Amino acid sequence: MVAAAVSAFVFLPLPGQIPVLMYHFIDTPERAASEKNVVSRKSFARQMAFLHRFGYHVISMDDYYAIKTGRKKPRGREIMITFDDGNYTFADQAYPEMAKYQFPVTLFVISQNIKDKSYGSMDEQTLKKLHSNSWITLGSHSRTHPLLSQLSDDAVRQELLGSKRELEDLFNTPFWYLAYPSGNMDERVTRIAEESGYRLAFTTSLKHLKDVQENFYSIPRVKISRTSDCPIAFWGQISGIYQAFKRLSHTFSGR
Ligand SMILES: [Zn+2]
């Protein structure tokens, strides 16, 4: 029993199984106590230290894509870290903790919010400064953060292709990766994401895959919220155990 637990700890996640962690906001313990998408800085610092201490391979989005397309061999125990919404709490609270280890991270940003400096978005200058770190990748999180499945084809295109072009102009770098706002999408949205020239697109939980095939344009992620404060819960999430369990319950709930 102990041996099984130890080997699970050492070998999980298995090569090729790469949990993609999704964070939103890192802030004070007070805010983390009242909002479920907020992780306290202390807890976040502990999670980064955990990954470092136990030798997880935090990989970049480009490496993830290379592994997914068979151009790179996974070493095992890879995980990936993403942040949605481009909120200022990344620069203020998460960045200093990540800079200690320089763990690769992808920030999915909302193009219109950057321009308007609205909804707590980091501004262009802050993002440019962050992006000057080789370990920070920027991705698109649409133009205005709508529920894409409720829009016409043209409107979806404006959000996905439109944000890609705006962000590429703004940051002078290709935007290959996309996260759907609120994880919301359907088969049609995934097609438009592919046509818009993205390499990969991410949703949130498996529930969004109810009527959608899992492929490069519908990759589920593991949400890290204040409930991940407990180290065992966090380990469950980064080891792939949580995902396997979710997948099983998803299958039995009549997918
Ligand atoms: Zn979002």
pLDDT < 50 stretches in the chain? 255
Ligand 1: distance of its center to the CA of 85 in Å? 5
Residues lining ion ligand 1 (Cβ < 5 A) are 84-85, 181
Ligand 1: distance of its center to the CA of 82 in Å? 11
Ligand 1: distance of its center to the CA of 86 in Å? 9
Query: Strands 38-40 and 57-58, how do they pair?
Result: unpaired
Ligand 1: distance of its center to the CA of 84 in Å? 5
Beta bridge partner(s), residue 219: 202
Q: What is the pLDDT of residue 255?
A: 46
Ligand 1: distance of its center to the CA of 183 in Å? 8
Ligand 1: distance of its center to the CA of 6 in Å? 36
46 contacts: CB under 8 Å, gap ≥ 6: 231
Ligand 1: distance of its center to the CA of 25 in Å? 11
Ligand 1: distance of its center to the CA of 54 in Å? 30
Ligand 1: distance of its center to the CA of 107 in Å? 11
CATH no. of 16-250: 3.20.20.370
How many C-beta atoms lie closer than 10 Å to residue 160's C-beta?
25
Please provide residue 124's backbone torsions phi and psi, each rounded to the nearest 5 degrees. -55, -45
Ligand 1: distance of its center to the CA of 145 in Å? 6
Ligand 1: distance of its center to the CA of 95 in Å? 19
Q: What is the 3-state secondary structure (H, E, C) of 142-167?
A: CCCCCCHHHCCHHHHHHHHHHHHHHH
Ligand 1: distance of its center to the CA of 96 in Å? 22
Ligand 1: distance of its center to the CA of 8 in Å? 33
pLDDT, tens digit, for every residue of 16-40?
689 999 999 999 999 988 888 999 9
Q: Is 176 helix (H, G, I), strand (E, B) or coil?
A: coil
CB 131 within 8 A of CB 109: no
Q: What is the pLDDT of residue 2?
A: 62
What single-letter DSSP state applies at residue 12? Answer: P
Q: Which helix (H) or strand (E) holds 51?
A: helix 41-53
Ligand 1: distance of its center to the CA of 2 in Å? 40
